[in-house]
Structure formats: structure tokens, C-alpha cells
Amino acid sequence: MKDIVEIIKTRRSVREYKEDQIPDEDIKFLIDCARFAPSGFNMQPWSFLVIKNKDVMRKISEQGKKSMIPLLEPVKNTSKKAADFLVYLKTKGTDMFYNAPLLIIILANKSAMTADWDCAMAAQNMMLAAHSKGIGSCWIGGVQPALMDEKFLKELGAPEGYKAIAPLIFGYPKGKTEAPGRAEPEVKWLK
Ligand SMILES: Cc1cc2nc3c(=O)[nH]c(=O)nc-3n(C[C@H](O)[C@H](O)[C@H](O)COP(=O)(O)O)c2cc1C
């Protein structure tokens, strides 16, 4: 087990994966780490959709592209990153999940006041726990607009009363991901 600070600082969003699937016992380990996240009133308002099926992942990716492309068109001239992402999404055969073998969607119980934040905390626990075991991950917010469609989410198996918060991919990294760097945050010390 590596030092927690080293884990935090060396985790990367991985976008190239080997084909090997993560063993079920490690998937259970990630979910176990997720449930130790803090949550408002300790409501633990999360639910996990574990998707290993390639066809289902492809379907979500295609639906994700369909929903995301019209949102990016209006901003493509103001952001180079948005323009590049748009080209990627429009390229035939591209996968919003970067061919990762595993997708876990963290769902939030809509009745819990702090569910969105709770689920984001659970997501971070999972990504850090994954990294501690040599498993790469990436939050794929690009498919969020598709997952906002309640009918689509239900078709995927989401329980009634839950919404999607964190679509996370996992897999063994192919090669090394360069750190994108960090800016100095604005910090005000009130005296
Ligand atoms: C809410 C959220 C949504 C994200 N959505 C995507 C995405 O759709 N596709 C992607 O490749 N990366 C996505 N990322 C990963 C970020 O691009 C990445 O965290 C950032 O570039 C910093 O890199 P690092 O995670 O390696 O430190 C997302 C991250 C967050 C927190």
C-alpha cells in the first residue's frame, strides 16, 4: 500500500487501456472503498451500476455522442479543447470510454439532500483506491447528458428514484499518462 499523499498526487485520468478485465473481487474492493466516503447525515445515498458488457458500453457511448455533439457545436470557436473533443466525438469508431473494459455508474438517491456531493466523494474514493492497486480510471462526464434521460437510465437498470452522477471507467493502463499539471489555486487567508 502506497502512501496516501503519493496516491492522491500520482492518480491520472487514464485514456488508454489494456483489454484485460478487472477481477470481480477488485470491483467489490472499489465499491467497498466507495461506501466509506462521507455523506450528509450518513445517508449513503448511492447505488452502483457495474457494466462490463461491451455492447451496453458502446450503446451508452453512442448515445453520449449524440447528446454531447449539439452542446459542443456552439462553443467550438471559443474553446480549443471543446473543438478537439468535438472532432474526436465525430470521428467514426471513437469510444467515449476509450475502450476501457469496465464502466461503473454511481447513481444518487434523489431524495437525499446532499446526494450529488456524497456520490462525488464516493467516486474519488474509488479512483484513488483503484490507483493504489495499479488500476487506472477516468470520470467520463461527457456521457452525462445522455444519462440525464430518465428512460435511458432506467433501460440500463438504474433503480427508481436515482439519477446518474459519476460514470467512471476502470482498467489496466496501457503505458504511462503524463500529468497535465496544476495551477496555483487562489487562496485567501482571512485574519
Ligand atoms: C466531472 C468530471 C468530468 C470529466 N469528464 C471527462 C470526459 O468526459 N472525458 C475525459 O476524457 N475526461 C474527463 N474528465 C477527466 C479530466 O479531464 C481530468 O481529471 C483532468 O484533465 C485532470 O487530469 P488528471 O485527472 O489526470 O489529473 C472528467 C473529470 C471530472 C472530474
Residues 58-117: tens digit of each pLDDT? 999 999 999 999 999 999 999 999 999 999 999 999 999 999 999 999 999 999 999 999
Q: Ligand 1: which atom is nearest the Cα of residue 12? A: 26
Is residue 190 one of the residues assigned to a domain?
no
Centroid of ligand 1 to alpha carbon of 156 (angstroms): 23
Grid coordinates standing for 40? 450528509
pLDDT of residue 1: 53
Out of 140, 143, 148, mutate this one to test ligand 1's pocket (max ligand atoms within 8 Å of CB): namely 140
Q: What domain range is 41 assigned to? A: 11-52+100-171
Q: Is residue 160 part of a domain?
A: yes
In a domain, 129, yes or no: yes
* Residue at 77 is within a domain: no
Question: For 121-177, how does the pLDDT look when each residue is reduced to its tens digit (9 = 90+)?
Answer: 999 999 999 999 999 999 999 999 999 999 999 999 999 999 999 999 999 999 999
Sign of CA dihedral 22, 23, 29, 31: positive
Q: Give a yes or no: residue 22 inside a domain.
A: yes
Give the domain CATH number at 123. 3.40.109.10
Altogether, the residues listed in the chain come to a count of 191
Q: Which pLDDT value is given to residue 2?
A: 62
Q: What is the DSSP string of 6-55?
A: HHHHH--B---B-SPPPPHHHHHHHHHHHTTS--GGG---EEEEEE--HH
Question: Which single residue is written with the C-alpha cell 454511481?
Answer: 106
Looking at residues 179-188, what average pLDDT do you find?
Answer: 96
- pLDDT tens-digit series, residues 22-51: 999 999 999 999 999 999 999 999 999 999
Enumerate residues lining ligand 1, CB below 6 A.
12-13, 15, 138-142, 180
Would 180 be classed as within a structural domain?
no
Tell me the C-alpha distance between 141 and 109, whole Å: 19
Query: Would you say residue 123 lies in a domain?
Result: yes
Nearest CA to ligand 1 atom 5: 141
pTM score, two decimals?
0.97
Q: Is 90 inside a domain boundary? A: no
Number of domains, the chain: 1
**CB neighbour burial string for 38-47, b if at least 16 within 10 angstroms, e if fewer:** ebeeeebbbe
